[in-house]
Amino acid sequence: MKYVVTLCFVSINIFMFAQVECVETDFNNDGSIGSSDLLQFLSFYGSEWPIECDDLDFNNDGSIGSSDLLQFLSFYGNEWPIVNTSIGCGDIFFQDYTYATVVIGDQCWFSENCRYLPEVSPNSSSSIDMPVYYVYGYEGQNVEEAKSTTNYNLYGVLYNWLAVQDSDVCPNGWHVSSDADWNLLEITLGMDLEIVNSQGFRGTDQGEQMKSESGWSNEGNGTNASGLNILPGGLRYAYNGFYHAGDDGIFWTNSLALSSEYYAWARRFVYNNQGVERENPLITSGFSVRCVQD
């Protein structure tokens, strides 16, 4: 319903209101976010938000764009939560690396893959009851050597599911994204509530909104409208082998699936599909990870 509202108003001259030096979120002070507030918000679309009040530049990119509009619309028809009048989490310095982050709806996500690498194994190593860490294409066991590779610096680390339970993967105040976290993210980006808990590829263009603008095979790049910047970091199959860098990006959740200790929920993005796959692979697989703020 919120997206229908967007289509109705985008065709209007979005600069119909004179810009003001500083504004409140509930522009007309009627207690809720409605069409009048949306029109005022749209008067800033494509422009820099006034420095004096930067609370609606949700992704902190210096201008009001589609990601900010989606966040604003998530409150349409409701009261504006005062706690969120200035949303943003900023860059996170953790383990000698500065991670970029992005606000999407009520969540703050890493917009880069996790890089925590206490040890490293070749793809032939596998375990169902111990943590294992991989760097795509690296077949040694030297951590510093693995960290010097192009794939580590671009894609981060591939973890088996036991490894993502390590509290050091994410900083304090953050956690490895859960199945519920991904569901909320997908709904914020427009996925229908009725399909969000289904398996397989779901949605319309939610995957395209999350995928990076470059790096995907066969012109399968996304728009990165969400700012999440999902990269095609490939995977380590459950039994052996690195595959599909450039084609796939797969991300563990911290949530077990199917009432089993051997399968967990994951999200998969591919070059030739605009949706997002919700799947439940074996926990011995090696996938990427993203952190979400508590």
Please tell me the pTM assigned to this model.
Answer: 0.71
pLDDT of 262 higher than 60: yes
3-state DSSP assignment of residue 6: helix
Structure tokens at 80: 């504006």
Q: Are 164 and 286 in contact (CB under 8 A)?
A: no
In this structure, of 42-51, 101-110, 271-280, the range with the lowest mean pLDDT score is 42-51
Domain extent listing, the chain: 1-87, 108-293
pLDDT of 85 higher than 60: no
Structure tokens at 95: 């383990």
Structure tokens at 294: 């508590």
pLDDT of 294 higher than 50: yes
The share of the chain scoring above pLDDT 70, in percent, equals 81
- Which one is predicted more confidently, 59 or 163? 163
* All residues at 6 or more sequence positions from 182 whose CB lies less than 8 Å from its CB, including other chains: 251, 253, 265, 267, 276, 278
What confidence score (pLDDT) does residue 31 get?
66
- Residues 210 and 206: their CA atoms lie apart, in Å, by 6
Mean pLDDT, rounded, for 232-251: 96
Tell me which CATH code domain 1-87 carries: 1.10.1330.10
